[in-house]
Structure 1
């Protein structure tokens, strides 16, 4: 599980100062290989080669690959401008097995983060996990079993069953969903009118507070709801649209998590 990687993150980050600038033989369109599987990595612009990097591990949507997220203005362009290392695993047969708790894809995610820590100095307190659609469901599944050292889950239009019981959980959960999404239903939870029942129960959330409305583009307004929880925080942004990654959503979450002034793109 990801908890076992904490030592690796600190060890490799310390080694970076002794070794000088880091180099990786795989980045951009050249995949990093782990056995028969692989992932892609996209370095942020202006990185000095030494400063430990926040990491966003993003699970791609169905029938796509990690390269799609890196080439996306709504994902890759958001990380490179904010000093974040984007890590995009490739799903077997371009999909993810998130249906059951014992999926091998959780272990694959662990292996990816461990390999990244061998190649780059990682800011171990700034590990974020995101995904879109099937990839969002995979991100939920991943942090459900390897999430204790994850700073935030950023879910986009996909989830696992709200009746799941998770052994682990990230420090913060942020999710966005379209109210007219006909591909993946908004994760309400049976008998509960408020979204993200699974995480609100797992993190000990009680009363919600309105977070106001915001938009990165004038044609799409997102309405936010926040929960302060005993063991973390939960935020959901709902919009009137369908099944897509909203403009500026990833960037805004990273800005808020990193203490930056929200900007677009």
Structure 2
């Protein structure tokens, strides 16, 4: 009997330890769902952390995100806590406002704040492909406390009526994307992918900020809307297809955090 009690105690203690030490590929359980979290390099264990909540692409999970060089590679070097929720069926329900994934993401951020000292003024929301669309949906429904949207190659309809909004919206999309098609506007307007936020923020005309690149094989062109009643909008486009451009997430974080842009 005593032996069995000791074994039971050790089992419970081990399970509790697993819950408390979820990190990287070891998921944090949250009810019937879960998410992944990755601390930045060199964190002292006390300083409040900016957070990047990143939604994975279709047929993926958060373990991919925390091992992805173009995502985790950027957050680890910039003192940012990476949080990667797991979608049901490895996907996201972003099509309408009636989705359980927005309140789930709210719960994820609440749980993260119980585990880590979080900087509430520096919550960034990102995603790629279907995850990019989910990032748009999340900030559309629950974005008033979000510092910036960082969306890659995925969005929602530009005619959506969003009750909330982040303080800033940044989006990148390939002109040749045929997976989540580049959303050209009337007469081939290449600024249409951020029409929703330009209207939401009541922005005036955009300003071209020129081309930039971190790898010689891909050049991105930037347009910025800073003359807005609230917030600002940044759009980067490139001639390529459906992927996360090298250095894009890192550059956005550098700019948002007041750092000199570097690569990686």
> What stretches of structure 2 of length at least 5 have no aligned partner?
1-18
Which has the higher Rg, Structure 1 or Structure 2? 2
Structure 1 residues 192, 161: closer, same or farther in 2, change over 3 A? farther
TM-score, normalised on structure 1? 0.89
User: 1:10 — aligned with what?
Assistant: none
Instruction: Report matched runs for 1:59-74 at 5 Å.
Output: 59-74=55-70
User: 1:164 — aligned with what?
Assistant: 160
Instruction: Report matched runs for 1:1-265 at 5 Å.
Output: 24-189=20-185, 193=189, 194-195=191-192, 196-228=194-226, 229-265=228-264
Q: Shift of the alpha carbon at 1:188? A: 4.0
TM-score, normalised on structure 2? 0.90
2:136, 2:155 within 8 Å by CA — same for their partners in 1?
yes
Across the two proteins, how many residue pairs are aligned to each other?
243
Pairwise CA RMSD of aligned residues? 1.3
Partner Cα distance (2:241, 2:75) in 1: 24
1:42, 1:86 within 8 Å by CA — same for their partners in 2?
yes
2:25, 2:66 within 8 Å by CA — same for their partners in 1?
no
Q: Shift of the alpha carbon at 1:187? A: 3.2
1:96, 1:105 within 8 Å by CA — same for their partners in 2?
yes
Structure 1 residues 181, 192: closer, same or farther in 2, change over 3 A? closer
Q: Per chain length, whose mean CA-contact separation is higher, i.e. which structure has more relative contact order (CA < 8 Å, sep 6+)? A: 1
Q: Shift of the alpha carbon at 1:24? A: 4.5
Between stretches 24-33 and 46-55, larger displacement belongs to 24-33
